[in-house]
């Protein structure tokens, strides 16, 4: 076997613009690729800041971990009295976990967040629920976060960072119930209490899929946003924007920039010739080895990948068409991101006695001719 390597550069031509990302008006911001959370751009991403109702992403995760959507929650008097954004809950009202999650995540209802916290916290109440929130944060790798309330209303010590918010949002979007709810543009509770989403991007940004907004006097206008286009998933976070409109436009600009950086391409091409192996006793022929099928991956347009081909310099006969005789790998640094076998394009029988004899005869004649040439001084 012999191995060879070549560098590959994926470029989107005119569609790719190697430009700096837009400059958002915010205390902290980032944009990240959604598969592995790689940060494409960031500013003050580890700075602890108030995050307002983005907190409710964690509230939802803890609730989903410990309840069923069909469980019944009795709204406490304390929860019903929570102010700011509310769903108009009434003390003693009985609602399902799903109804309260929808009110909390779609219209950012503080009373719904507290009703759920009371229910899950049980005798330990909100204090125990917040402990569960912080344990969950630590477990999923949020290093800059401390939760004090389940609703995100301003209180000293309740902080997170843009980086942690992205970690939280990606984790939550892996839950199909959470993902379904945060894509809703409207919802309703019994008694004609209808409400609309606070996530304006769901209506205005093509491909938007979630996740949660936040606004208080301390936190400013903040949001974790996600979007998907042509198989590429991105996240953008804005913390501390000056207005709802500017937050929305900055998020859209960051996502647009992110989508310019990535695309889905074939990193292995099915049917393409990756190696040509010698055939025993036939100096004039080569056996083409091709990838058995294509493999597509999401890559950064200007990313340099390494293609590594392992194939025999000379095949052993007989060979059957479709027989695996090598492999092609595509590597991003030390990571193999794609690998496919190389297969023979044709069948070749074992060499006959006559083929072998003729080949040896030609070799002998070639050697004799070379020797004679050197004797005469014709060859070096």
As annotated, the active-site residues are 53, 56, 108
CB 298 within 8 A of CB 264: yes
CA 291, 293, 298, 300 torsion-angle sign: positive
| Coil vs helix vs strand at 126 | helix
Nearest Cα neighbor of 60 from 196, 167, 158, 151 is 151
Q: Strand locations in the chain, DSSP E? A: 2-9, 28-33, 39-43, 72-74, 94-96, 186-189, 193-196, 208-216, 220-229, 232-241, 262-268, 273-279, 282-291, 295-300, 304-311, 324-332, 335-344
CA dist., res. 258 & res. 341, Å (int): 33
| Coil vs helix vs strand at 223 | strand
DSSP 296-350: EEEEETT-EEEEEEEE-SBPPSPB-TT-EEEEEEEEETTEEEEEEEEEESS-BPP
């Amino acid at each position: 076997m012999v191995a060879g390597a070549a560098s590959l550069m994926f470029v989107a031509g005119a569609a790719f613009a190697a430009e700096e990302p837009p400059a958002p008006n915010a205390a902290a911001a980032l944009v990240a690729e959604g598969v592995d959370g790689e940060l494409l751009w960031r500013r003050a991403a580890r700075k602890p800041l108030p995050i307002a109702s983005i907190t409710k992403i964690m509230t939802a995760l803890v609730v989903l971990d410990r309840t069923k959507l069909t469980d019944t929650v009795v709204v406490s008097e304390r929860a019903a009295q929570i102010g700011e954004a509310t769903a108009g809950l009434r003390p003693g009202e009985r609602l399902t976990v799903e109804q309260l999650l929808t009110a909390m995540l779609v219209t950012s209802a503080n009373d719904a967040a507290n009703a759920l916290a009371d229910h899950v916290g049980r005798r330990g109440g909100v204090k125990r629920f917040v402990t569960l929130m912080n344990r969950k944060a630590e477990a999923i790798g949020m290093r800059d976060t401390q939760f004090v309330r389940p609703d995100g209303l301003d209180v000293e010590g309740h902080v997170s960072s843009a980086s942690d918010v992205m970690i939280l949002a990606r984790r939550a979007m892996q839950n199909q119930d959470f993902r379904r709810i945060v894509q809703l543009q409207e919802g309703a509770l019994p008694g004609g209490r209808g409400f609309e989403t606070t996530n304006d991007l769901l209506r205005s940004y093509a491909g938007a899929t979630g996740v949660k907004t936040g606004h208080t006097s301390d936190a400013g206008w903040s949001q974790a946003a996600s979007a998907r286009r042509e198989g590429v998933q991105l996240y953008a976070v804005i913390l501390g924007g000056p207005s709802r409109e500017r937050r929305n436009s900055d998020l859209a600009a960051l996502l647009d920039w992110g989508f310019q950086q990535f695309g889905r391409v074939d990193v292995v091409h099915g049917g393409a010739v990756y190696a040509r192996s010698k055939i025993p006793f036939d100096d004039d022929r080569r056996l083409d080895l091709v990838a058995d099928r294509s493999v597509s991956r999401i890559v950064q347009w200007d990313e340099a990948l390494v293609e590594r081909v392992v194939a025999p310099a000379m095949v052993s006969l007989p060979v059957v068409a479709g027989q695996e005789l090598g492999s092609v790998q595509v590597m991003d640094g030390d990571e193999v991101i794609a690998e496919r076998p190389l297969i023979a394009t044709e069948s070749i029988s074992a060499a006959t006695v006559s083929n072998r004899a003729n080949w040896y005869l030609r070799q002998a004649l070639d050697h004799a001719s070379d020797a004679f040439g050197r004797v005469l001084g014709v060859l070096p």
